[in-house]
């Protein structure tokens, strides 16, 4: 636990320690890790149709796209190992009801599900994807946020890419605002 606490919080205030997984599944410790915080946004459709648990939250009811967050400007290279430590999902208006999501993250783009339809991810994508629960939710008078617990989720970028591809799944049944902007922020470490 000490290594993960240093990785997530930098408790010693100096060099942060990071865990890295070798291809054979064993761990070794590296004293070098670069922290990143990167965001991407999309506008949801101009309607206020309530979601049900298991629905996709995307940018279209007929031709959705997966949110891409490129990490190349953060110093990654193709095939790098990263650790995801936190995800924030910020919404530009205050929704009614609990605002909880699962963030499905892949290292390759995939077919997105129409907004307000049951989330469907192909088996091949599901096999490499990570699902990060973002079940802590907060409201202000103007907007709302869902947030993951602090985590240490290992993830490998694609051999020919440096992006994360994300689709959101509603875990609750909120009523959204029309055309809201949804911003997903991923926090983590690039393992060197």
- The predicted-structure confidence for 146-192, as pLDDT tens digits, reads as follows 999 999 999 999 999 999 999 999 999 999 999 999 999 999 999 87
In a domain, 130, yes or no: yes
Q: Residue 131 domain-assigned?
A: yes
16 inside domain: no
15 falls within a domain: no
pTM of the prediction?
0.84
CB 16 within 8 A of CB 8: no
Q: Say if 8 falls within a structural domain.
A: no
Q: Would you say 67 and 123 are in contact if contact means Cβ atoms under 8 Å apart? A: no
Residue 82 CA from chain centroid, whole number: 13
Is pLDDT larger for residue 184 or for residue 1? 184
**Overall domain count for the chain:** 1
pLDDT for residue 22 is more than 90: no
Residue 57 lies in a domain: yes
Q: Is the pLDDT of residue 85 over 60?
A: yes
Position 20 in a domain: no
Q: Which domain holds residue 107?
A: 33-191
pLDDT at 23 over 90: no
Phi-psi label, residue 129: left if phi above 0, alpha if psi -120 to 50, beta otherwise: beta
- Confidence grade of residue 24 (pLDDT, cut at 50, 70, 90): low
Cβ atoms of 179 and 45 within 8 Å: the answer is yes
Contact between 49 and 116 under an 8 Å Cβ cutoff? The reply is: yes
Residue 7 lies in a domain: no
Judge whether residue 32 has pLDDT over 80.
no
Whole-number pLDDT of residue 171: 97
Which residues lie closer than 8 Å to 105 by C-beta, 6 or more apart? 84, 129, 130, 131, 132, 155, 164, 165, 166, 186
């Amino acid at each position: 636990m000490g290594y993960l606490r240093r990785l997530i919080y930098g408790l010693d205030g100096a060099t942060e320690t990071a865990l890295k997984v070798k291809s054979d599944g064993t761990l070794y410790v590296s004293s070098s890790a670069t922290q990143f915080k990167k965001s991407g946004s999309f506008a949801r459709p101009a309607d206020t149709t309530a979601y049900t648990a298991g629905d996709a939250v995307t940018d279209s009811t007929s031709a959705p796209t997966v949110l891409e967050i490129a990490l190349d400007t953060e110093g990654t290279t193709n095939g790098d190992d990263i650790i995801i430590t936190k995800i924030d999902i910020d919404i530009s208006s205050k929704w009614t009801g609990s605002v909880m999501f699962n963030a499905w993250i892949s290292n390759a783009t995939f077919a997105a599900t129409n907004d307000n339809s049951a989330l469907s991810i192909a088996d091949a994508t599901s096999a490499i994807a990570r699902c990060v629960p973002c079940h802590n939710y907060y409201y202000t008078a103007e907007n709302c946020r869902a947030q993951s617990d602090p985590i240490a989720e290992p993830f490998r970028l694609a051999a020919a890419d440096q992006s994360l591809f994300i689709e959101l799944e509603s875990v609750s049944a909120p009523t959204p605002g029309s055309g809201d902007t949804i911003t997903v922020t991923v926090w983590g470490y690039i393992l060197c």
